[in-house]
Amino acid sequence: MVHRTLLSRILWVLWYACLCNAESYVLDDKVGLGREFDGIGGLSGGGATTRLLVNYAEPYRSQILDYLFKPNFGASLQILKVEIGGDAQTTDGTEPSHMHYENDENYFRGYEWWLMKEAKKRNPNITLIGLPWAFPGWVGHGTNWPYDHPHITVYYVVSWIIGAKQYHNLDIDYIGIWNEKKFDSNYIKLLRYTLDKSGLERVKIIASDNLWQPISLSLLLDAELHNVVDIIGAHYPGTNTVLDALKTGKKLWSSEDYSTYNDDIGGGCWARILNQNYVNGRMTATISWNLIASYYEDLSFGRNGLMTAEEPWSGNYVVESPIWITAHTTQFAQPGWTYLQTVGHLALGGSYVALTDGKGNLTVVIETMTHDHSICIRPPLPHFNVSSQNATFQLKGSFGSVSALQVWHSKFDFKTKKPSFFKKLSPLRISDGTFTLALEPDEVYTLTTITTGQKGSHPAPPASAPFPRSYKDDFNVRNPCFTEAPDFADQTGVFEYYINLTDPGHHVFTLRQVVTQRPVTWAADADQTISVIGDHSWQNLTVSCDVYIETEKTGGVFIAARVDQAGETVRSAKGVFYWVYADGTYKVTNDIAGKVVLAEGLSGTRAGTWHTLTLTVEGQYASGMLNGYPLWKNAVVIAPQNGWAAIGTQTFELAQFDNFAIEAEQ
């Protein structure tokens, strides 16, 4: 009994010593408040990053959307930013424009309309943002620059905003302006003028949605420009801003951030920047590129989303750690809340922020992510140290009477690989307005007066499975929900469902490539159009498809296997490409550019007639059939050894495809 009493005293002394060594931090709203919190969001697009999500069957698709958008369930996102499709490659694929051509308008193309409506269905208060990464070729009038004819570009963008409301009852809250080269102040002013004249005064402008400069200095020097820009948006700011941006008095956003592989180090990156974007840079919104990794993983920046859903054929998806890291803030602070001035860094590494709704509620988010466990893909992260520490928080002002705080905790465990995310702990009792936490490295805490937080869950999805080795699509869909065929990922050009009224026979419902002019884009579209599909690991396979060349004399189409590259590097794609042309010839090449020729000759193919192409690749040899008869055989293929299947056209030209099929070996 004596020993037990002595042990208790020793433990008490040690505990008291720890408290005495704890650093103290004051949380007080009476000294004034900081900036207004605008939310945390995800970005669909830039480009085609949500492509596979729409192909998921129910209930899995709705479950995924719940984890992203449903309040008090998962990430509970407060902002959704989408690409205004421009028919161009913008990182992982192309998204269709609402205006392929100058006299063309269609506000049902693509899946971003659907995604915004699904987000609004779950959270009516979610903020919607549109940003064009690229533009159809006609907007540039023969140049690769969209702002030489600002009236045309403004008309194009404002039409999209009006179409969102007219056809989908979606109110777009913000419109972004971005180009890698520079920004155009006259365009921004004209956009504001046109929005106002169109009754869209509520739509605000984010500029330059790229870098802090030169937009920040321009706002200080140009009063008219200052009046029309609402948000200064920066991409991948590294949690820092510049003095000129602060001087403008404008809201500062990290309007594109993260872009990191979504393992637990990616989750650590996200935890660190969500806090430190405000602590270091006074940014009041952070938007993840991308929303969800729902594109083929072997494309550029595979699995760089808040969660992963890249297997619609199996139904499998993965709720990654960034979902729960997001919840630490979004479930306990809403847009319109305000940061306290008393935020900052912890003495031994890490950071804390505190927010209030001005009605007595308080939310504190603490992160202690170490350097090596929170590295983002960009920019480079300077070295820093994080150690175990005790932190005492003093609640003052209107928080002095708080008697208890709800506690939510995440622990990244890189040693045992047994992390714990978004776990609700016992409420923390507040004594004399203070509380002390023992903080370990690589943790996230939320302490809050809000009691509605919840770690939502759905039944486990089906197991992961590879793309089906036997695959067929006849495109016979009379009323498609989406304009793209399932599982095809357009990489240059746009392939849409089409009703061929000129063929009453077997080819009424087809897939048609519709982009006829090179788009205005910052990325490297190929000179040919291409859509990939399947499993990048495929080696030996047969691809067949009915093809219809629409361009007389100069037209051409292809089917392909072992396509090794797409996304930003699609121009460099290699594989086995089987081309037929309207001039009655064929060619087999080892690259999409057609520079390495494996075989060529006469085919008798022509425009305005359906032909069936069959390509078989096995080992180092490839063979091709035309209309069921051998045309060429035993072309030697040294490399690549694996890749996707694909279809496409010789140039930006109209062409149709039907009865597509794949048979791949295990």
Just list the catalytic residues. 180, 256
Nearest to 51 by CA among 290, 284, 337, 224: 290
Cβ–Cβ < 8 Å for 474, 658: yes
Q: Distance between CA atoms of 145 and 218, rounded to whole angstroms?
A: 21
Q: In 83-130, where does DSSP find H-type helix?
A: 112-122
Identify whether the C-beta of residue 259 lies closer than 8 Å to the C-beta of residue 237.
Answer: no
Q: What's the burial of 513, exposed, middle or buried (CB within 10 Å: 0-12/13-18/19+)?
A: buried
- Six-digit token string for 581: 């042309």
Tally Cβ neighbours within 10 Å of residue 51. Answer: 27
**What is the CA angle 146-50-240, rounded to 5?**
65
CA torsion through residues 301, 303, 304, 310, sign: positive
**What radius of gyration, in Å, describes the C-alpha atoms of the chain?**
28
* Pairing label, strands 556-563, 231-235: unpaired
Taking residue 36's Cβ as centre, other Cβ atoms within 10 Å add up to: 14
Q: How far is CA 472 from CA 103, 263, 506, 533, 662, in A?
A: 35, 34, 16, 11, 6
DSSP character string of 449-500:
S---------PPPPPP-PPPSEEEE----SS-SSSSPTT-EEEES-EEEEE-
CA 93 to chain centre: 12
